[in-house]
Amino acid sequence: MKILHTSDWHLGHRLLEQSQLEEQTLFLDWLIDYIDVHGIDLLLLSGDLFDVGVPSTQAQKLYYDFLIRLHGTCCKEVIITGGNHDAPGTVNAPKELLNALSIRVVGKASGSIDEEIFTVTVGDEQVIVAAVPYLRDQDIRRAVAAESSEEIVNRYKTALVNHFREAAACCEAKKREGTTVIAMGHLFAIGGCTSESEQSIYVGNLGDIGADDFPAVFDYVALGHLHRTQQVGGKEYIRYSGSPYPLSFSEAGQEKNIIELETGESLTITNRTVPAFRQIVQIAGSVAECKAQLSLLAAGTHSLIPWAEVILKNREEAITGYKEIQDYAKELALELLKVTVLEERRYDHLQSLVDQAQQIKTLNPTEVFRLKCKEQQIDLHTQPEMLDAFNEILQSVIEKE
* pLDDT tens-digit series, residues 122-136: 988 999 999 999 998
Contact in structure between 138 and 181 (CB atoms under 8 Å): no
Cα–Cα distance for residue pair 103/97, rounded to 1 Å: 9
348 pLDDT higher than 60: no
250 pLDDT higher than 90: no
What mean pLDDT do residues 334-361 have? 63
Residue 383's pLDDT band (cuts 50, 70, 90) = confident
Residue 355's pLDDT band (cuts 50, 70, 90) = very low
pLDDT at 239: 96
- Per-residue pLDDT tens over the stretch 209-232: 888 999 999 999 999 999 999 999
Q: At what angle do helices 57-71 and 21-37 cross, to 10 degrees?
A: 10
Cα–Cα distance for residue pair 38/55, rounded to 1 Å: 31
Per DSSP, the chain holds a count of helices (H) and strands (E) of 11, 17
Superfamily of the domain at 2-273:
Metallo-dependent phosphatases (3.60.21.10)
Cα–Cα nearest to 317, from 345, 340, 338? 340
Contact in structure between 45 and 81 (CB atoms under 8 Å): yes
391 pLDDT higher than 80: no
Question: SS3 string of 152-174?
Answer: HHHHHHHHHHHHHHHHHHHHHHH
156 pLDDT higher than 50: yes
What mean pLDDT do residues 145-165 have? 73
Residue 380: other Cβ atoms inside 10 A? 16
What is the torsion angle, in degrees rounded to the nearest 10, for the CA atoms of residue 328, residue 332, residue 334 and residue 338? 0
* SS3 of the chain: helix, strand, coil, percent, to 5: 40, 25, 40
- Per-residue pLDDT tens over the stretch 175-201: 988 899 999 999 988 755 656 655 544
372 pLDDT higher than 60: yes
Cα–Cα nearest to 91, from 118, 144, 55? 55
Residue 148's pLDDT band (cuts 50, 70, 90) = low
Q: Collapsing DSSP states into helix, strand and coil, what is residue 127?
A: strand
Length of the chain: 401
Map out the domains of the chain as residue ranges. 2-273, 280-400
- For residue 338, the Cα-to-chain-centroid distance in whole angstroms is 23
- Cα Rg for the chain, rounded, in angstroms? 22
What mean pLDDT do residues 300-324 have? 88
Q: In sequence order, what are the residues at sequence separation of 6 or more whose Cβ sits closer than 8 angstroms to the Cβ of residue 390?
A: 366, 369
Cα–Cα distance for residue pair 128/33, rounded to 1 Å: 26
Class of domain 280-400: alpha beta
Question: Over pLDDT 90: what percentage of the chain?
Answer: 65
